[in-house]
A and B are shown apart, each in its own frame.
Chain A
């Protein structure tokens, strides 16, 4: 079968409240499913936790120092010019939010999302759900789905700079 249908996920047009409530990024970066793009020139090295309960590793945090809709209004776009990404304790990368010349469609196998990722449930339980999800994904392997259309990305193209100790209160 050389032809594979490419579905368009219904959620790309309707905003799901679950994604919005946990989305801490500025609203400009919000997409209906909450997916966003983060580009780093380089790789993030991190130790993988040996704890079976951990499904992800916390590597750092994103700070939008100029983002302040309370003062500058919601339409202000100057904040896009500066984003900090603190990696670990001592490194900071400076980047910006860029509008993509051509938006990206995020394409995955149909059904890849399953029920996973909607709020952090009990970790063990989540592992179980993920396993089931993967099996399901194998079933309709041939069907692809456009999960989301992303128009902005956060890009870090500069070298990381060393920063001292504290991570808090650097933004202002």
Chain B
């Protein structure tokens, strides 16, 4: 290697036609991914500007997604000239071509990555239409969007989207995607439970999701919804590819309890004794003794000694409202206040 500094240094040239290159700061987690022998696919996602504005007040921004994590991209301006240089062999004037460092791009801004801890569930709740069953009639608006189309509009990695999708028991049917209401879920669960009893399927052992989903579909519920529900209740250690399911007893217990309570939300108070009876009746016989209030700790309130209701969502709702307010740039308001003083 011929280093040139003894002979008077390395010539530096600036290309006339500067290229568009961006500098992206790499936090350690991302760097390790890039250095792995088989780097995972990365992508940059952004919220589509128009719908984002109508749904919530957050400005459109871009995120870098690894398979399971997402990072918000923030542009940081610098007043310094930051050049990206490339070694070339260049001749200037009549000199012999010499190894030269050529600036090929100037970067006025760099991009920082910040872990995005966006809540996938609230994003999905905002975009997915509600699927409700009222007296056996479907009450849902078709959105004509497939699951991948929905995911591509959410500024989170596919892994995070999938987790949120699963926790909502969202499903895709006939080209549209929905999230079921608690009422619907309670009905589908009742149907699943009945079907498993009739067919002698033990829910906490491995069974074919499709078998049960088919039986549930015969009762008029969409099969994908039943499958989605079964995946939601499956134990996490279990392979989630979808073909097989194996329900997690504890998860199912508390899910059924919470869903039943949630389904009664707004219908006045619910006698605790009635609730406990319904809850136990909705479970496979072997699981019934597990139906204790502590299994749904934090999800219920006892307005009186004999009644129960789902915990009000006031706390979470408030938090949601506060965020856009602080994000809004109401400078004129701020200045107006100081002016009056």
A-side residues, CB < 8 A to B, are 1-8, 12, 19-20, 22-27, 33-44, 46, 48-49, 54-65, 67, 84-86, 102-109, 112, 117, 119-120, 130, 144, 146-147, 149, 153, 157, 167-169, 171
B101–A25 contact, CB under 8 A? yes
List residues of B (40-58) whose CB comes within 8 Å of A's CBs. Answer: 41-48
Q: How far is the CA of A60 from the CA of B103 in the complex (A)?
A: 12
User: Does B85 touch A at the CB level, under 8 Å?
Assistant: yes
User: Does B126 touch A at the CB level, under 8 Å?
Assistant: no
A-chain residues with CB within 8 Å of residue B44 when the two chains form the complex: 3-4, 6, 144
Query: How many residues belonging to B are interface residues under a CB distance threshold of 8 Å?
Result: 66
B84–A56 contact, CB under 8 A? no
A38–B12 contact, CB under 8 A? yes
Say what secondary structure dominates the interface of chain B: strand
User: Does B294 touch A at the CB level, under 8 Å?
Assistant: no
Q: Decide yes or no: A35 and B84 within 8 Å by CB, A2-B48, A56-B13 being known contacts.
A: yes
- A5-B43, A24-B3, A26-B3 provided; 14 other pairs, C-beta below 8 A? A3-B44, A24-B10, A37-B82, A38-B84, A62-B10, A63-B8, A84-B9, A102-B25, A103-B31, A105-B24, A105-B26, A108-B20, A109-B20, A112-B19
9-residue interface stretch from B92-100, B128-136, B200-208, B247-255: B92-100
Residue ID in chain B nearest A43 by CB atoms = B81
B-side residues, CB < 8 A to A, are 1-6, 8-17, 19-28, 31, 34-35, 39, 41-48, 64-65, 79-92, 97, 99-105, 110-111, 152-153
A-chain residues with CB within 8 Å of residue B64 when the two chains form the complex: 6
B45–A37 contact, CB under 8 A? no
Of B46, B88, B104, chain A has the most CB atoms within 10 Å of the CB of: B88
B34–A59 contact, CB under 8 A? no
A-chain residues with CB within 8 Å of residue B10 when the two chains form the complex: 24-25, 61-63
Counted as pairs of residues, one from A and one from B, with CB atoms less than 8 Å apart, the total is: 209
B-chain residues with CB within 8 Å of residue A60 when the two chains form the complex: 11-12
Q: Decide yes or no: A2 and B80 within 8 Å by CB, A48-B16, A63-B5, A102-B25 being known contacts.
A: no
Q: Report the 6 A-B pairs with minimum CB-CB distance, sorted nearest first.
A: A63-B9, A61-B9, A23-B87, A24-B99, A24-B4, A6-B42
B-chain residues with CB within 8 Å of residue A67 when the two chains form the complex: 3, 5
Q: How far is the CA of A106 from the CA of B46 in the complex (A)?
A: 20
A56–B24 contact, CB under 8 A? no
Q: How far is the CA of A86 from the CA of B19 in the complex (A)?
A: 24
Residue ID in chain A nearest B22 by CB atoms = A107
Q: How far is the CA of A62 from the CA of B11 in the complex (A)?
A: 6
B309 to chain A, nearest CB (A): 40
B-chain residues with CB within 8 Å of residue A3 when the two chains form the complex: 43-45, 65, 152
B88–A8 contact, CB under 8 A? no
B-chain residues with CB within 8 Å of residue A120 when the two chains form the complex: 88-91, 97
